[in-house]
Chain A
Amino acid sequence: MIGERGAKAGGLVLLVAAAVAFPLAFPDPAVTNYGVFAMIFVTAASAWNVFSGYSGYISLGHAVFFGSGAYAMGIAARDWNITGAAVFELLPLCAAVGAAIAVPFGLIALRVRRHTFIVITIAIFFIFQLMAFNFSFTGGSAGLSSPFLTWQESVYDTRFYYIALACAAGAVALSWLVRRSSFGLRLRAIRDDEDRASGLGVRAMRVKLSAFAASAGLTATIGAVWFYYVNQVQPQTGFDPLFDLTVVLMTFLGGYGTIAGPVLGALLVEPGTLWLNTQPQLAGASEIVLGVVFLVVVLFVPRGIIPTGGEWIRRLR
């Protein structure tokens, strides 16, 4: 099967080349702006998939990490007076904050099984949103603004595009590493039957918690990048209930538990949503469209484009 492997490697090289060349081919900042958001969501969806897609525990609380990353970045930059491009040195700190929040979060939420887990993630999400509203160090309902970044307008979007692309590449690499490792195998054993996996010696809590923390760290990192890109964060944008929905939709559309699925899903959904929001005659209708797409996906391609498409191709042969 050298052919298939070669084709996969060639496809990957082409894809990376296309991603790197994208802002050069379309220098219009409005187009690059779509690219930045697409890469942010490629990262977020892949990060979500590393935990929820592989373990089968649907988290609707990943906005906690996205928002915490954004706020960690904002608070650290403000309190330590960090300005300019040096702020990006704070990204590992933001990842650590996300992972650190994930540990107690996971210790509480991962004690229960799937249904209840979903609800607890929602509850903890609301606690975080409320904290962002009520504490003074988070700036209350006004939120935080990012310190001025002295980048020229002409390179602003392009630079952010490459930063987000690097994060996306990291997320996909993590997703690939986890999937082919014995750690990933344990995660998927938990997804298929947790009791049986535990019976076979998988330390379920430890495995789930590690995946949860890794996923959280990545989500927090991209949250911090997002904060710098849009220049501000408020409680309802950093801790946005639609964030989790969007990420879940992307992953299910592309293919739940696959590596390419969340990437493809994000590349389809995010530019689509951005475009819908720019259409004045569709004002307020983007939710309806999102909902309808959601229903169509679940009813007609329930396993996502990548697995279903793969099956069709195999059948053609």
Chain B
Amino acid sequence: MVREIYQAVADGILVGGVYALMAVGLTLIFGVLDIINIAQGVLVVLGGYLSYSLSTRAHIDLFAGLLITIPAMFALGVVVHWAFIRRLRGAERTSMTLLVTYAVALIVEGVLYKIYGANNVQLSAPYTTASLHVAGFYLPWIYVYGFLLAVALVAAVYLLLYRSRFGRSVRATMANETAARLVGIDTGRVGALTFGIGVAVTAAGGMVFGATNAFNANSGYDLISRLLAIVILGGLGSIAGALAASVFMITLESVVTIWYPTWAIAVFYAALVGVLVIRPRGFFGRKEVRAQ
């Protein structure tokens, strides 16, 4: 039993890393643009399908394919921001952006369903079936590689935010958009690029998700609700919070699965509700803006 718990914790941390990658995109978009991107889940699925097509049609390795899918998803994010999000202003902006991203999610889901149908698919490569044996534990290679990829990308996002000129503009915009604009930051451009980056990470997240789970066009709903729970628990707009909450939630789910497989996801959401009763801002949350 103790062994099983260790195994579950190890799985939870590895999978949690991948969720962290997807959640970082979501929380970054929220922090800069004050938008909850409901489409994030289905964009992860889109990322998964892109990798699927590249590997089955063009026989490109899953990890090498990311060199194509990450820029493609980045471009998609910038286009969505340019076409829809940028235009929304005014009092009801929060609800409006929510509806717009929901609409984008519906359209992407509908298109994926049209192209790929309702059957589940899963990405496969030599490393999706083989496992690493360490001290008697079985860690599938894809989990290990996916975790390393997630760590590398989260670190890259972190460096971009805290060690570059662009990152300084992003953080300034997060802190106070009006002030940032007054000191000469092009907040529109920052918003577009942030949305692009937030969506681009779903390409990598989608690939690892698709290699570890069977998925179809509908899988986005399940994903987005988990990701939302994670970013709310971590505190909207907090990258460190997203990391901590992903690992915590996924490990919790993975451990609960040992005893109650059908209730694990309910425990996941119940944890969210429980934490919010005690701390309405989540673990690392900033004080929420006063007036809407």
Which residues does A use to contact B, with CB under 8 Å? 56, 58, 108, 111-116, 118-120, 122-124, 126-127, 130-131, 133-134, 193, 195, 241, 245, 248-249, 252, 256, 284-288, 290-292, 294-295, 298-299, 302-303
Given A111-B280, A294-B102, A294-B106, check contact A130 B266 (CB 8 Å).
yes
B88 within 8 A of A: yes
Q: Shortest beta-carbon distance, B25 to chain A, in Å?
A: 16
A288 to chain B: closest residue by CB: B110
Q: Tell whether, in the assembled complex, residue B102 and residue A287 are in contact, meaning their CB atoms are under 8 Å apart.
A: no
Pairwise interchain contact A295-B103, C-beta atoms closer than 8 A: yes
B-chain residues with CB within 8 Å of residue A134 when the two chains form the complex: 262-263, 266
Given contacts A288-B107, A294-B106, A295-B100, contact A120 B232 (CB under 8 A): yes
A-B pairs with beta carbons under 8 Å apart, 12 shown: A115-B288, A116-B276, A120-B272, A124-B269, A126-B225, A133-B262, A241-B221, A248-B99, A285-B110, A287-B106, A291-B107, A298-B99
| One of B89-97, B158-166, B181-189 at the interface | B89-97
Q: Could you tell me the distance between the alpha carbons of A134 and B265 in the complex, rounded to whole angstroms?
A: 12
A46 CA to B290 CA, complexed, in Å = 28
Q: Roughly how many angstroms separate A294 CA and B84 CA in the complex, as a whole number?
A: 12
Shortest Cβ gap from B109 to chain A (Å) = 6
Asked if B292 and A114 sit within 8 Å, CB to CB, the answer is: yes
A97 vs B79: C-alpha distance when bound (angstroms): 45
- Assess whether B236 is interfacial by the CB under 8 Å rule: yes
Q: Which of B196-236 contact A (CB under 8 A)?
A: 221, 225, 228-229, 232, 236
Complex CA gap A134/B96 in Å reads 35
- The A interface is mostly helix, strand or loop, or mixed, namely helix
Question: A288 and B288 in contact (CB under 8 A), knowing A108-B276, A123-B272?
Answer: no
Chain B residues with Cβ below 8 Å from A56 are 95, 292
Kindly provide the distance from the CB of B268 to the nearest chain A CB, expressed in whole angstroms.
9
Q: Shortest 8 CB-CB distances between A and B: which pairs?
A: A291-B106, A288-B110, A294-B103, A287-B110, A291-B107, A123-B269, A291-B103, A119-B228
CB neighbours (8 Å) of B258 from chain A are none
Please tell me the size bucket of the interface on B: 35 or more
Residue in A131, A286, A290 whose Cβ sees the most chain B Cβ within 10 Å: A290
Beyond known contacts A116-B288, A256-B92, A288-B107: 14 more, CB 8 A cutoff: A115-B36, A116-B280, A116-B282, A126-B225, A130-B262, A193-B291, A245-B106, A249-B99, A284-B114, A285-B110, A287-B113, A294-B100, A295-B107, A302-B92
B87 CB–A CB distance under 8 Å: yes
Q: Which residues of B contact A193 (CB under 8 A)?
A: 291
Measured CA separation A277–B225 after assembly (Å): 27
Chain B residues at the A interface, C-beta cutoff of 8 Å: 30, 36, 84, 87-88, 90, 92, 94-96, 98-100, 102-107, 109-111, 113-114, 221, 225, 228-229, 232, 236, 262-263, 265-266, 269-270, 272-273, 276-277, 280, 282, 288, 290-292
Q: Is the CB of A119 within 8 A of B273?
A: no
**What residue of chain A has the Cβ atom nearest to residue B117's Cβ?**
A284
B100 CB contacts on chain A under 8 angstroms:
294-295, 298-299
Distance of A188 from chain B, by nearest CB (Å): 13
A193 (CB) vs chain B CBs: closest residue: B291
For B87, list chain A residues within 8 Å (CB): 299
Question: Given known contacts A115-B288, A119-B36, A122-B228, is B110 in contact with A291 (CB within 8 Å)?
Answer: yes
By a CB distance below 8 angstroms, the chain B residues around A112 are 276, 280, 288
Name the B residues within 8 Å of A249 (CB-CB): 99
Given known A-B contacts A123-B229, A292-B107, A195 and B291 have beta carbons under 8 A apart: yes
Contacts of A115 on B, CB cut-off 8 Å? 30, 36, 94, 236, 288
What's the Cα separation between A118 and B95 when bound, in Å?
9
Residues of B within 8 A of A284 (CB): 110, 113-114
Write the chain A residue with the least CB distance to B228. Answer: A119
Closest Cβ of chain B to A243, distance in Å, is 13
Alpha-carbon distance between A295 and B107 when the two chains are bound, in angstroms: 10
Instruction: Report yes or no: B225 in contact with A122, Cβ–Cβ below 8 A.
Output: yes
A288 engages B276 (CB within 8 Å): no
Which of A124, A127, A290, A298 lies in contact with B106, CB distance below 8 A? A290
Closest to A290 in B: B106
Provide the bound-state CA to CA distance between A110 and B104, in Å.
28
Contact B98 A291 (CB under 8 A): no
Q: Would B88 and A298 count as touching, CB distance under 8 A?
A: yes
Residues of chain A lying within 8 A (CB to CB) of residue B272: 120, 123
Q: How close is B220's CB to chain A, nearest CB, in angstroms? A: 10
Cβ-closest chain B residue relative to A244: B102
Indicate the member of B84, B104, B270, B272 with the most A CB atoms within 10 Å: B272
Give the distance in Å from the alpha carbon of A263 to the alpha carbon of B43 in the complex: 33
**B265 surroundings in chain A (CB, below 8 A):** 126, 130
Report the bound CA distance from A119 to B98 in whole Å.
11
